[in-house]
Amino acid sequence: MASGRAVVGENNRSTAIVPIRIPAEDPEALEDPRLSDVDEWGRSERTRAVVRALYDPIYSRWFRTEWDGLEKIPTEGGALLVANHAGAIPSDAPVIMHGIEKELERPVYGLADYFFRTIPVVGTLWARAGGVSARPANAYRLLREQNQLALVFPEGTKGPSKSYTDRYQLRRFGRGGFVEIAMRAGVPVVPIAVVGSEEAMPVVFRLPSVARALGVPYAPITANLLTMGPLGIVMPFPAKFKLRVLDPISFDVPADRDRYSKSRIMDESEGIRNQLQDAVYDMLRDRRSIWFG
Amino acid sequence: MATRVLVTGADTFWGGRMVQALESDPGIDVILGMGTRAPSVPFERAEFVRADQHYSIMSRIVKATQVDTILHTFMITNSATVPRRVMHEINVIGTMNLLAAAGAAGSPVRHIVVKSSTLVYGSAASDPNTFTEDTPRTSPVKNAVERALIEAEGFVRDFSEDNPGTKVTVLRFANVLGNHLSTPISRNLSRLVCPAIFGFDPLFQFVEEDDVVRALVHVTMGGIPGLYNVAGEGRLPWSEVASICGTRLVPVSPYSLLNIRPMARLFDLPPELEDLLRYGRGVDTRRLAATGFTYNTTSAGAVRTFIRALRLRRQSGRQPMSYTYEHDVEQFFRHSPSVMSAGEA
């Protein structure tokens, strides 16, 4: 069959040539006239580079971040990074993402509640900087199909919303969904214990009625807000950040199952939570000063 | 293998293109175009039947012509084109009657191809990044066109369960851009200013017009059953779409529908686009690719094809009147004993 046919006038646009089974062009050679480098997750490496340049002084001068065991993070293949989560606006997520991208030169996609997407400007910037909404399907696609690193905080908003009196007491790890996703994707879980995030922006008390009125997960009054005024909304205290990467945990189960044993998932989830909690306690035992480590 | 094909909506853009595409395949003996108005493009050998929009004469036509394949292109996926009630008639009642005719006892129909839309997935913050054909939608149905398409697809699913002997194909197309088609998105992109919701820059996936026709031909001629997403490779943010088209984005307030409603009228934004302009939509297209279909154009390529055609239209003079369907003339060429070869007028 030829590539098509002309009907009536050659220059008649509305009835122009209708292609039928044109031999498809080489899919590799398809022209793709893109202008930006935004990927399917909304992440842009150019934006990431700007964010890295802006965040690096905070990472290395303000928080003076120190890593222990960074070599345990796989340099290739998918892995699910799991960490404890704290501070009203948690600094642990940008610190981990920045640190791994800086030291290992691997992109990290940060999974967070889809609530972020609903906030104008913030949602867009969050996506451009590597944020992805924490849907199981998204995590699976990142880990299994694209062999990426994904960072997740299984405590969810229960971590950052807890008050300073509960500092370094890890909350419940959701329903263990992160274990199930790692099993299905066939990737290891790499726990990362973080110390310093609690003191960077401590929650003094919470205003549940304000949170309800604004439709946000929690509305904290932070020590930063009380001491620095409006600047305290975004400005963390210069607590010393220390991170310890624990041994990767691989689950000896076949990938791509529809279901996995719920009891196994809960056991593994609880086990990882205990490991992280122990590591945090251990790091706190060695910490002499909040500000100098 | 399709040899006698009935195309619904032959008077519409897609139906007309499908009839023309099928006409050039000598393997197809009979092509029957059905439509509510006169066709807007000339058919070479296809017969045209005028019918009302909910196909009350469908079963008679199917019985009389013994078609083995029905290509159901007459689905409204753009609520701006027709009033709500009419859209319901066309999408829901039309599909229902079509399936009833195709499923009647002794029906000759062996394959039904339905043109649907990725609108059935909706668009919401809680959506996964990529919808596969089996991913359920995460948000409640908010507008009439999505509701009608979901309902119509439901009838198709029921039909497919009740009639295991008949192949059923549903293609869900992403937003289409191309040389000719006019949609709310293409109209907005062709203006000097184009609306964007302040603070949101959603990712869009497009499919090029010709790839739509090619995909429908591919499943029809290949007799490929199943449910498939059809969308070009890659996704691009709305801001990038606007800059490829050279239009300037005007931010609209993201809060309160009171702000959006008058804007919607001003900017020609049907309700199904409001959420899309916030959250976008991405679909997985690997299932159709696995059947051997390859695209000629990526998402960004579709945007460029559209804007290049638009630039040509802007810069060249008015085209001569395309075609007027005249029933008697068409009948003469097809059936008069004096005509030696059909269509060679």
User: Is residue A142 included in any domain, yes or no?
Assistant: yes
Averaged pLDDT, B39-64: 85
Bigger pLDDT: B326 or B250?
B250
Q: Which helix (H) or strand (E) holds B72?
A: strand B69-72
What pLDDT, on the 0 to 100 scale, is given for residue A25? 56
What pLDDT, on the 0 to 100 scale, is given for residue A12? 36
**In the predicted model, is pLDDT for residue A79 greater than 90?**
yes
**In the predicted model, is pLDDT for residue A2 greater than 80?**
no
Q: Is residue A13 very low, low, confident or very high in pLDDT (cuts 50, 70, 90)?
A: very low
What pLDDT, on the 0 to 100 scale, is given for residue B55? 76
Domain boundaries defined on chain B:
4-335
Range(s) of the domain holding residue A282: 45-201+240-286
pLDDT in tens, B191-246: 999 999 999 999 999 999 999 999 999 999 999 999 999 999 999 999 999 999 99
Quote the tokens at residue B234: 């890659």
**In the predicted model, is pLDDT for residue B66 greater than 80?**
yes
**In the predicted model, is pLDDT for residue A264 greater than 90?**
yes
Give the bridge partners for A37, in sequence order: none
The shortest C-alpha distance from A38 to chain B (Å) reads 7
Averaged pLDDT, B83-96: 91
Averaged pLDDT, A5-19: 41
Q: Which of A25-29, A42-46, B24-28, B340-344 has the highest mean predicted lDDT (pLDDT)?
A: A42-46
Averaged pLDDT, B112-123: 96
Averaged pLDDT, B143-157: 94
What pLDDT, on the 0 to 100 scale, is given for residue A280? 96
Task: Give the distance, in angstroms, between the CA of residue A84 and the centroid of all CA atoms in the same chain.
Answer: 12
User: Is residue A9 included in any domain, yes or no?
Assistant: no
**In the predicted model, is pLDDT for residue B267 greater than 80?**
no
Averaged pLDDT, A46-74: 95
What pLDDT, on the 0 to 100 scale, is given for residue B338? 81
User: Is residue A217 included in any domain, yes or no?
Assistant: no
The shortest C-alpha distance from B245 to chain A (Å) reads 11
Mean pLDDT, chain B, whole residue set: 89
**In the predicted model, is pLDDT for residue B344 greater than 50?**
no
Considering CB atoms only, which of B41, B125, B300 is closest to A117?
B125
Q: Is residue A23 very low, low, confident or very high in pLDDT (cuts 50, 70, 90)?
A: low
CATH number (domain holding residue A120): 3.40.1130.10
Lowest-confidence region among A28-37, A92-101, A250-259, B269-278: A28-37
What pLDDT, on the 0 to 100 scale, is given for residue B260? 60
**In the predicted model, is pLDDT for residue A71 greater than 70?**
yes
Q: Is residue B263 very low, low, confident or very high in pLDDT (cuts 50, 70, 90)?
A: low
Is the Cβ of A3 closer than 8 Å to some Cβ of chain B?
no
Bigger pLDDT: B264 or A241?
A241
What global pTM score does this model have?
0.89
The shortest C-alpha distance from B60 to chain A (Å) reads 30
Q: Is B38 left (phi over 0), alpha (psi -120 to 50) or beta?
A: beta
Tell me the C-alpha distance between A40 and B275, whole Å. Answer: 18
pLDDT in tens, A174-219: 888 999 999 999 999 999 999 999 999 999 988 989 989 888 888 8
Helical axes B95-102 vs B58-65, angle rounded to 10°: 40
Q: Is residue A16 very low, low, confident or very high in pLDDT (cuts 50, 70, 90)?
A: very low
Q: Is residue B345 very low, low, confident or very high in pLDDT (cuts 50, 70, 90)?
A: very low
Q: Pick the closest to residue A79 from A246, A274, A265 (CA basis).
A: A246
**In the predicted model, is pLDDT for residue A24 greater than 80?**
no
CA-CA-CA-CA torsion sign (A28, A32, A38, A44): positive
Give the bridge partners for A243, in sequence order: A67, A194
State in words which class domain B4-335 has: alpha beta
Answer for the pair A112, A93: CB distance below 8 angstroms, yes or no: yes
Cross-chain Cβ contact B128/A18 below 8 Å: no
Cross-chain Cβ contact A30/B125 below 8 Å: no
Considering CB atoms only, which of B128, B233, B300 is closest to A33?
B300
Cross-chain Cβ contact A30/B243 below 8 Å: no
What percent of chain A has pLDDT above 70?
90
Residues of A (138-177) whose Cβ lies below 8 Å from B:
138, 141
What pLDDT, on the 0 to 100 scale, is given for residue B24? 86
User: Is residue A192 included in any domain, yes or no?
Assistant: yes
Separation of first and last alpha carbons in chain B: 30
Averaged pLDDT, B108-114: 95
**CB contact set of A54 (below 8 Å; sequence gap of 6+):** none
**In the predicted model, is pLDDT for residue A284 greater than 50?**
yes
What percent of chain B has pLDDT above 90?
64
Averaged pLDDT, B29-56: 86
Compare all CA atoms of chain A with the CA of B319 and give the residue at the minimum distance: A12
User: Is residue A33 included in any domain, yes or no?
Assistant: no
Tell me the C-alpha distance between B306 and A209, whole Å. Answer: 50
Cross-chain Cβ contact A34/B180 below 8 Å: no
**In the predicted model, is pLDDT for residue B131 greater than 80?**
yes
What pLDDT, on the 0 to 100 scale, is given for residue B106? 87
The shortest C-alpha distance from A122 to chain B (Å) reads 7
Is the Cβ of A47 closer than 8 Å to some Cβ of chain B?
no
Is the Cβ of A221 closer than 8 Å to some Cβ of chain B?
no
Q: Is residue B341 very low, low, confident or very high in pLDDT (cuts 50, 70, 90)?
A: low
Answer for the pair B69, B109: CB distance below 8 angstroms, yes or no: yes
Q: Which long-range contacts (CB under 8 A, 24 or more apart) does B48-52 make?
A: B48/B10, B48/B325, B48/B330
pLDDT in tens, A130-160: 999 999 999 999 999 999 999 999 998 899 9
B294-319 exposure pattern, b = at least 16 Cβ within 10 A, e = fewer: ebbbbbbbbbbbbbebbeeeeeeeee
**CB contact set of B293 (below 8 Å; sequence gap of 6+):** B214, B215, B218
What's the domain count of chain A? Answer: 1
Cross-chain Cβ contact B125/A20 below 8 Å: no
